[in-house]
Chains A and B, each alone.
Chain A
Amino acid sequence: MLESLFMVDYLKKIISPILTIVILWEIIIRFFSISPLIVPSPLTVLKAFESNFYSLFSQSLLTFVESFLGLLIALVVAFIIVVIFYFFPILKRYYYSIVVSFRAIPIIALAPVVVLIIPSYFLSKVVLAAIVAFFPIFISFSQGVHSLNEETLNYINIVNGTTGKVFWHIRLPQALPDLFTGLKISSTFSVMGAIVAEFIGANNGIGYIIKSSTYYYESGLTFAAIICSGIIGLITYSIFSFLEKRLIFWKKLN
């Protein structure tokens, strides 16, 4: 009984903002007489969803897989670099700022080169997703690993803590909350990376649908695909949010 009440509450939280947006959307289109070729009505979008359901679903799934794989690769690479920088601080001193400065390169500028270098469409999309996802994960994880207060460092020093053991037993679990913050930020970034790659050089994926439907003025389909891309990001975000709650159980304790 109580659970179903919570469920109703949860649905209300989702449905009411959606309804508000849809109603406002319809009002604005009518009030400003916006051409349906530019901005379709919510009903047109719904119809586009219905008639293109299979292709929207399969292409969304493809983009989801690409961005998720990219995210995992980014996680592994960030982890390895953070570990190397931790065990060899001299490398961190020289290379940390170089690694971070790569973040300044806009993904849109990098995308054509990556697509050109990597012949496989699928792989180039995964790589671009990984590049965009890498920085938030790397920076937040690196900060988490290095954030111990002075007294704790003194304690570790006095009990003769070794670099390796301190990393595995203290710094790594300590950095998990920061790592998840990075993963959650990257979960939407990686979708963006994959979609940018699909704009530039691909014949499938949700980004390709957005691009081609715009080309043919199928605005209903364009909007449906845009909504799908949002949902992909939301699903990835929710996966990490769920894992975070499970793994970082101590935050909820009182």
Chain B
Amino acid sequence: MEQKTECFIEIKNLSYKYPDSDEYILRNVDLDIELNSINGIVGKSGIGKTTLLKIIAGLLLPTEGSLFIKGMTIREFREQGKIGYMSQTESFFPFKTIRSNIEVPFKISSSNGKMSEELFNDLMTGLKIEKTEKLYPRQLSGGMLQRAKLARAMITMPDLLLIDEGFSALDEQTKTSILFDFRQLWNEKETTVIFVSHNLMDAVVLADNILIFNNIDNISKYNVALSEHRKETILVTDAFFKQTANVRKFIHG
């Protein structure tokens, strides 16, 4: 537990606006993200959640302020190729089997690494998609496909895993089961996770910390006081209801 207080990402006075616009999307954001924690970004749509995720991913450059990951700039950190990413809409390539799709980061990246069979099997089992290895994306249901995308995001053993609305299009039951399986897997593979979600319950289920976007310049951090090892039964406990209610209070003041 001691390890968790170590700062992994340090964001100071960060502001962002699109180059051709005067309007800020993010303004003077200060944020610390602890090492090996799961962090959920929640807030109304259009408030800059995805923008912040893209800045952390190095896809957008902040207009002002600084962002350090493990004491490195994004560019330095990116060079190590240790970021995993999944979203709702990025493609799983229809012409590759699930196995080849999961292997894609090794095939296309500059690092020339090789996929670890052990980790591959671990992820397939942990995410309950062992039997899909030789199938093609079109042969999988939406839930299975999201599980496979998670496997692809984790196969490089990233230090930082970014998930942008990764589960929002799934039905409630499928989503909940994926969230718990993922949390379980994360307990074994520790990595720092930041995910964007518009669903508060998802955030409480999955996260250690919830970053609540109240405004472009006001992000508050809520520490979810639930056990590290979470099972689906937690959903009907008082503790869970209390945490969800607390977050709601946090959002609505």
The 8 Å CB contact of A160, one of B90, B94, B109, is: B109
B57 touches A161 (CB 8 A): no
B108 touches A154 (CB 8 A): no
Within 8 A of A (CB), among B97-150: 104-105, 107-111, 136, 138-139
Given contacts A162-B110, A176-B95, contact A253 B138 (CB under 8 A): yes
**Any A CB within 8 A of the CB of B91:** yes
A160 touches B78 (CB 8 A): yes
Q: Chain B contacts of A156 at CB under 8 A?
A: 108
A154 touches B95 (CB 8 A): no
- Whole-angstrom distance between the alpha carbons of A174 and B94 in the complex? 8
**Interface 1/0 per residue, A159-178 and B, CB below 8 Å:** 11110011001100110100
Q: Chain B contacts of A151 at CB under 8 A?
A: 87-91
- Whole-angstrom distance between the alpha carbons of A248 and B138 in the complex? 13
- Whole-angstrom distance between the alpha carbons of A248 and B95 in the complex? 8
**Any B CB within 8 A of the CB of A101:** no
Q: Chain B contacts of A173 at CB under 8 A?
A: 93, 95-96
Within 8 A of A (CB), among B45-95: 54, 57-59, 78-79, 81, 83, 85-91, 93-95
Total residues of chain A contacting the partner, CB 8 A? 25
B138 touches A160 (CB 8 A): no
**Any B CB within 8 A of the CB of A152:** yes
B109 touches A152 (CB 8 A): no
B107 touches A165 (CB 8 A): yes
Query: How many whole Å from A164's CB to the nearest CB in chain B?
Result: 9
Given contacts A154-B85, A158-B58, A165-B109, contact A250 B95 (CB under 8 A): yes
Q: Chain A contacts of B87 at CB under 8 A?
A: 151, 154-155
- Whole-angstrom distance between the alpha carbons of A170 and B57 in the complex? 22
**Any B CB within 8 A of the CB of A149:** yes
Total residues of chain B contacting the partner, CB 8 A? 31
The A contact surface, by secondary structure, is helix
**Interface 1/0 per residue, A227-254 and B, CB below 8 Å:** 0000000000000000000001011011
B90 touches A161 (CB 8 A): no
**Any A CB within 8 A of the CB of B192:** no
Given contacts A151-B90, A165-B108, contact A159 B85 (CB under 8 A): yes
Q: Chain B contacts of A176 at CB under 8 A?
A: 95
B90 touches A154 (CB 8 A): yes
The 8 Å CB contact of B85, one of A158, A162, A166, A250, is: A158
Query: How many whole Å from A169's CB to the nearest CB in chain B?
Result: 5
**Any A CB within 8 A of the CB of B209:** no
A254 touches B108 (CB 8 A): no
Given contacts A160-B111, A165-B109, contact A148 B91 (CB under 8 A): yes
**Any A CB within 8 A of the CB of B15:** no
Query: How many whole Å from B93's CB to the nearest CB in chain A?
Result: 6
B residues contacting A by CB (< 8 A) are: 54, 57-59, 78-79, 81, 83, 85-91, 93-96, 104-105, 107-111, 136, 138-139, 156, 162
